Amino acid sequence: MTLPFKLPLIAILRGIRPDEAGAHVSALIECGFDSIEVPLNSPDWQQTLPQLVRQFGDRAMIGAGTVLNVAQVNAVAAAGARLLVTPNTDAEVIAGAVRQQIWTAIGCATASEAFTALNAGAHALKIFPASAFGPAYIKAIKAVLPPEVPLFAVGGVTPENLADYLAAGCVGAGLGSDLYRAGQPLSRTVEKAEAFIAAYKDAVR
């Protein structure tokens, strides 16, 4: 399956506030990121998400994470988001996103959850928490999945271990606290973003 963004590294900005989101997203895009996730347990996400869509929707795929129910799917769609990420496998959430024509990366841990997600229409699978399972587990589960299904490792992915997850069969990763922690300075976001992009380029060259 062709991905709707060029760099398969999803920037997860958990805890970001509306007043700081624009600067950090602008910096991430300048570094080369083109998929941004604002988890719905971030403060005032109802303000942040549409704000980022307006500012950067033509330069990056702006989306929401930690989406847990259909009401949230509808709110995310109303905000103009084009990417939806979940921590779990919920067929109703997936179907709701498909109806709204939103691209989904659905959280799963087992083969049963993975096939439940795919049967409901998931576009990609998010193996979460990746660090608890490790690359060997991902390699094993990928062996039973359709080869065209994109897998993303999320949870504990660092510049140092990113290559291991890619070698195990992931197309990319979702980057959380090792890229952005709530309240960190803009310079830290740039430093981390550059480290992840360098690691990705080294791994795929």
Residue with tokens 């939806």: 84
Cis peptide before 146 (omega within 30 of 0): no
Is 37 an active-site residue? yes
- Catalytic annotation, pick one of 113, 126, 142, 192: 126
Q: What is the DSSP string of 6-36?
A: SS-EEEE-TT--HHHHHHHHHHHHHHT--EE
Helix or strand (DSSP H, E) at 174 = strand 172-175
Q: How far is CA 35 from the centre of its chain?
A: 7
The single-letter DSSP state of residue 84 is E
Angle of CA points 60, 62, 64, to nearest 5°: 155
Residue 198's Cβ-side half-sphere holds a number of Cα atoms within 13 Å equal to 8
Amino acid symbol at 103: W
- Catalytic annotation, pick one of 37, 113, 142, 192: 37
Is 148 an active-site residue? no
Enumerate the active-site residues: 37, 126
